[in-house]
A and B are shown apart, each in its own frame.
Chain A
Amino acid sequence: MSKIITIIVNEYLRQVKRRAFLGALLIPLFFIAIISVVMFVAIGSEEKQDSAAIGYTDPANALAAAHQTPNAQNKIIRFATEAEARAALEKEDIAAWYAISPDFAQTGNANLFYWKSAPPSAVRNAFANFARSAAISNLPAQTQTRLLDGMTFNMQTPDGERKADTENPLPILLPMFFAIGFIMAVFSGAQYLLQAVVDEKANRTIEIVVSSVTPTQLMVGKIIGLALVGLTQVVAWGVMLGVLMGIANSRLSFLSGVSIPPQMLVIAAIMFVLQYLLLGSLMAAIGSAVIDQKDAQSANGPVSLLAMAPMFFITAILIDPNGLISTILSILPFTSPLAMLMRVGMTSVPFWQIALSIGLMALTVAIAMWLAGKVFRMGMLEYGKSIPFLDVVKNFKF
Chain B
Amino acid sequence: MPENVISVSHIAKSFGSAQAVRDVSFDVNKGEVFGLLGPNGAGKTTTIRMILDIFRPDTGNIAVLGGPMDDARKNRIGYMPEERGLYKDMRIEECVVYLAQLKGVPKDEARRRASQYFDRLDLAAHKKKKINDLSRGMQQKVQIIATLIHQPDLIIIDEPFANLDPVNTRIVQDLLLGERERGATIVMSTHLMFQVEELCDRIVIINKGQNVLYGKVDEIRRTYSDNAIRVTAQGEMPQIDGMMELSRKGNTRTLSLPPALPPREFMRILAETPNLNVEQFELALPTMDDVFVKVVQGVQS
- Which residues of A are at the interface with B, using a C-beta cutoff of 8 A? 3, 6-7, 10, 14, 203-214, 381, 383, 391, 394-395, 398
Contact = CB atoms under 8 A, between A and B. Distances in A.
A6 to B, nearest CB: 5
A211 B79 contact: yes
B102 A207 contact: no
A10 B79 contact: no
B194 interface: no
B146 A208 contact: yes
A398 B88 contact: no
B102 A7 contact: yes
Nearest to A217: B71
Given A391-B16, A394-B16, A207 B74 contact: no
Interface in B76-108: 77, 79-81, 83-90, 98-99, 101-104
B85 A207 contact: yes
B102 A205 contact: no
A297 B39 CA distance: 37
Nearest to B15: A395
A333 to B, nearest CB: 30
A394 to B, nearest CB: 6
Given A203-B87, A206-B85, 16 more contacts: A14-B87, A14-B90, A203-B85, A203-B86, A203-B88, A207-B79, A207-B81, A208-B80, A208-B146, A211-B81, A213-B102, A381-B49, A381-B54, A394-B16, A395-B16, A398-B55
A398 B89 CA distance: 32
Given A6-B101, A213-B102, A395-B16, A205 B55 contact: no
11 contacts: A6-B98, A10-B98, A204-B85, A206-B85, A207-B81, A208-B79, A209-B99, A211-B77, A212-B74, A212-B75, A398-B55
Contacts of B104: 3
Interface of B: 15-16, 49, 52, 54-56, 71, 74-75, 77, 79-81, 83-90, 98-99, 101-104, 146
Given A203-B86, A203-B88, A381-B49, A208 B16 contact: no
B102 A212 contact: yes
A381 B81 CA distance: 11
B68 to A, nearest CB: 13
The 7 A-B residue pairs whose C-beta atoms are closest, nearest first, are A204-B85, A205-B85, A212-B102, A207-B81, A211-B79, A204-B83, A6-B101
Contacts of B49: 207, 381
B52 A211 contact: yes
Given A208-B99, A395-B15, A213 B74 contact: yes
A212 B79 CA distance: 9
B103 A212 contact: yes
A395 B20 CA distance: 14
Contacts of A394: 16
Nearest to B84: A204
B83 A210 contact: no
A209 B74 CA distance: 10
Contacts of B74: 211-213
A179 to B, nearest CB: 35
B15 A211 contact: no
A3 B104 CA distance: 8
A6 B87 CA distance: 15
B155 to A, nearest CB: 11
A6 B102 contact: yes
